[in-house]
Structure 1
């Protein structure tokens, strides 16, 4: 499938747009209205992403599925616990997939991030391990926030805390990516592209 490269602002809008909708709807109405709006916004963002790029990132698909499932439970049971636990479930899924892959000598971080770079097997292994730990830590942080703080605080943290923290963490990984970066057209690159971390 031929993937078109979207404008960075479009990519940012599809990733952060649903969070902004969630925050604004919660501020104007309440969490249940915000949950319904969030579900619609996530679906719209996926459709827009596919319409423009003919591709939807794996992370976006997984996140959308969990949002729809837990959002539906929140609305049907009228229990805000489910939507608050959604980030925890998503982060634990990502951490589990990455950590489980490493146990079998595979790195799935390339699939998650649409493989924006080429690394040696050792580089993939280290990057995957760091992201697995990060996702697990974010799951714990989300649990602490929603269980100890108000709903409005949690919504603000979800909208303005989680994404910036994750972006900041991604930036701190650039030295590792540069250190283990591979030049194009090498046999080792082919192994890295396949996510093989059992070598190197």
Structure 2
């Protein structure tokens, strides 16, 4: 299914985020009454984002038969913190969610480094075959990058407007991730496994 429809995977991954942005921009200056309670555009966008992410995650699971641990963790935190924002009508819980996610990812990667376990490679080795030293370097860089993103999210949501945070969340974070991945192209090349070694390396993970 994925091969016949190459647009489907990015649509599932970015669809809920684009929906969040669209709903927020549509209602950002309005207040809507739901069950007698007034909700602003941010809460309405969050209310749309949660079921959309649940649906796209379920579709990805049905398509592939599996979900990455980061996908599961992200979904749980979105439901918990997004649900708190909607329930308490307070956007701060949802804006705090990326900080928690990035710190958690950084902690997981850091723990893997300390235990000398290649957890990142176990997830991504099929798409990016590298030797053990390459995965160690990438894991360290990615852990530090996630800490940076967590700190940056705190600066943005605590010091800027809701609109600024939504733009940052929708476009800024994906661009930063893309730049990070592109910036490590030299590492990928330097530590790439020869084709004949890929299968052996996968069995060793």
Change (3 A) 1:79 1:192: farther
**Rg larger in structure:** 2
| More relative contact order, 1 or 2 (CA 8 Å, 6+ apart) | 1
Contact 1:92 1:135 survives alignment (8 Å): yes
Change (3 A) 1:54 1:37: same
3-state DSSP of counterpart to 2:79: helix
User: Aligned pair count?
Assistant: 192
Contact 1:57 1:114 survives alignment (8 Å): no
Which whole-Å CA distance do the structure 1 matches of 2:166 and 2:83 have between them?
18
Structure 2 gap ranges (5+): 28-40
Match of 1:72 in 2: 83
Match of 1:81 in 2: 92
RMSD: 2.2
Which whole-Å CA distance do the structure 2 matches of 1:31 and 1:16 have between them?
18
Which whole-Å CA distance do the structure 2 matches of 1:63 and 1:20 have between them?
17
3-state DSSP of counterpart to 1:106: coil
CA shift for structure 1 position 22: 0.7
3-state DSSP of counterpart to 1:186: helix
Contact 1:57 1:113 survives alignment (8 Å): no
| Range with greater deviation from structure 2 (21-30 or 132-141) | 21-30
Structure 1 gap ranges (5+): 195-200
Q: Given the alignment, which residue of 131, 144, 160 partners 2:155?
A: 144
Which whole-Å CA distance do the structure 2 matches of 1:123 and 1:139 have between them?
24
CA shift for structure 1 position 169: 0.9
